[in-house]
Amino acid sequence: MIPVLGFEGQKVMVLGLGRSGLSTARALRAGGAEALCWDDGEAGRSAAEAEGFTLVDPMKAAAFDGVAALITSPGIPHLYPAPHRAIAAAMAAGVPVDNDIGLFFRSLGQGDWVHHDTPPRVVAVTGSNGKSTTSALIAHILETAGTPCQLAGNIGRGVLDLEPPIDGEVIVLELSSYQTDLARALTPDIAVFTNLSPDHLDRHGGMGGYFAAKRRLFAEGGPDRAVIGVDEPEGRYLANQLSEGDGDARLIRVASRKLAGAGWDIVTKKGWLSETRKGRQAASIDLRGIAGLPGAHNHQNAACAYAAARALGLSPRVIEQALHTFRGLPHRSQRIAEIAGVAYVNDSKATNVDAAVKALSAFPRIRWICGGLEKEGGMQALAGATGNVVKAYVIGREAAGFALHLADLPHEVCGDMATAVSRAAAEAEPGETVLLAPAAASFDQYDNFEQRGDDFATQVAKLG
């Protein structure tokens, strides 16, 4: 546990008592604060009471009297589409609002930090797509190289559940826009921006607000080194703002095309990763045969992880060896079976159109299972991106409406996963791939994308 420091003897209210909320309450108590807890659900309140925490309804009169801060869970809106009433009340009372990420950065460098011979470092990864794979890949590279590390944030453990880092350790964090948007302290040593595409637009008031939330990771504390994907305009803008000019070694640009200038660049093209510095090639890696990183989108993830590892001082050869042993993450281009010459790939994490488009480019002949709860931002990115698709099989409560976006693409409205898998398997030919890449959220039929991916795997298992 990382004890939260700076609130000794003070009252701090915690709103939202899921995984991160209860973790925050425990870390506040470990640091000497009194945690006052609340959740709109009975289950969350009961869990907090069972651990001895005091429940305080933030909407009661004088609830914020003497409260030093309100710590809210990432999923609770604080601005758009409208602030949660408890957060609005805290702001009206002049009580600072923060989240567990802010508390983590505020507390991490205190305590025994000065006694480390090699101070621990933090690598923070954000972006629309690929941040989970990139974060896990960085951790895998470090572990393979024998460097102690911990992985947390939007993937795996909550940040305050981490153990205090040991000498020379690296903490790798995956951070969503919900987490970076509100954190009052953001001071990673290395910050990574993978890419940007429309997502969570209702929560951020549009694309500008969404990008602004991501940009805070680079603007609030100023990392020692930044890894920026520059294939999109927002990435190029961010890289330009962070650089003091051509050749600034604090910036590493990642792209799918050759870049001008004499900077530090990592480029992936036609399955090859190339590192150049000051106009000269420093390393080259063939990514095409790496089973855990299929497709151009995963090659970009590999480039971002490679750049972060190089910024940490690892050699190209050590990184290359680790790339070849990376097995990938569940629900992200996860090859789960091959039956009668047909591959079955679970990319349930492709919850937006851009992520699905990247998955569709990774395989030559695809039976595509898609559909679900559509997100803001539209389906325009699908235009011209379905050339590898033999046929689509549409799931979701509004499957017929989703199918309208497929225009002339051969498709079948299936409704549920069992029907979609059965129909795709019946029609698939050897050499083809049955790909779950929904291009939509899962909440119309499932609790989360993991449950959707597990259902896909269950239905595929029945085929055997």
Domain with residue 236: its CATH number is 3.40.1190.10
Residues of the chain with pLDDT under 70: 110-114, 377-378
Is position 21 annotated in a ligand binding site? no
Please give the pLDDT value at position 378: 65
Please give the pLDDT value at position 377: 62
Report d(CA 254, CA 139) in Å as an integer: 19
DSSP letters along 239-296, please? HHHH-SSTT-TTEEEEESS---SSSEEEEEETTEEEEEETTEEEEEEE-TT-TTS-HH
- Cα-to-chain-centroid distance, residue 15: 23
Please give the pLDDT value at position 113: 63
Note whether 30 and 69 are same-domain residues. yes
Note whether 277 and 394 are same-domain residues. no
- Between helix 316-324 and helix 131-144 the angle, nearest 10°, is 110
**The residue to which tokens 């909440």 are assigned:** 443
Report d(CA 286, CA 438) in Å as an integer: 29
**What digits encode the pLDDT tens for the residues 101-124?**
999 999 987 656 667 888 899 999
Range of the domain at 18: 11-98
Please give the pLDDT value at position 450: 94
Domain annotation covers residue 351: yes
Domain annotation covers residue 106: no
Check the CA dihedral 385-391-393-398 and report its sign. Answer: positive
Intra-chain end-to-end CA distance of the chain, in Å: 44
**The residue to which tokens 């000497």 are assigned:** 32
Phi, then psi, of 420 in degrees rounded to 5: -65, -45
Note whether 126 and 267 are same-domain residues. yes
Note whether 17 and 87 are same-domain residues. yes
Cβ neighbours of 100 (radius 10 Å): 27
Domain annotation covers residue 27: yes
Is position 127 annotated in a ligand binding site? yes
Check the CA dihedral 386-392-395-398 and report its sign. Answer: positive
| Residue 33 near residue 24 (C-beta atoms within 8 A) | no
Tokens found for residue 346: 């679970």
Domain count, the chain: 3
Report d(CA 398, CA 326) in Å as an integer: 37
Report d(CA 365, CA 432) in Å as an integer: 5
For the chain, what is the largest distance between any 2 Cα atoms, rounded to a whole number of angstroms?
68
Note whether 203 and 352 are same-domain residues. no
Note whether 404 and 300 are same-domain residues. no
Is position 256 annotated in a ligand binding site? no
Is position 333 annotated in a ligand binding site? no
Tokens found for residue 223: 């990392």
Is position 130 annotated in a ligand binding site? yes
Of 98, 121, 156, the domain-final residue:
98
Report d(CA 205, CA 177) in Å as an integer: 12
Which parts of 31-130 fold into alpha helices (H)?
Answer: 42-50, 85-92, 100-108
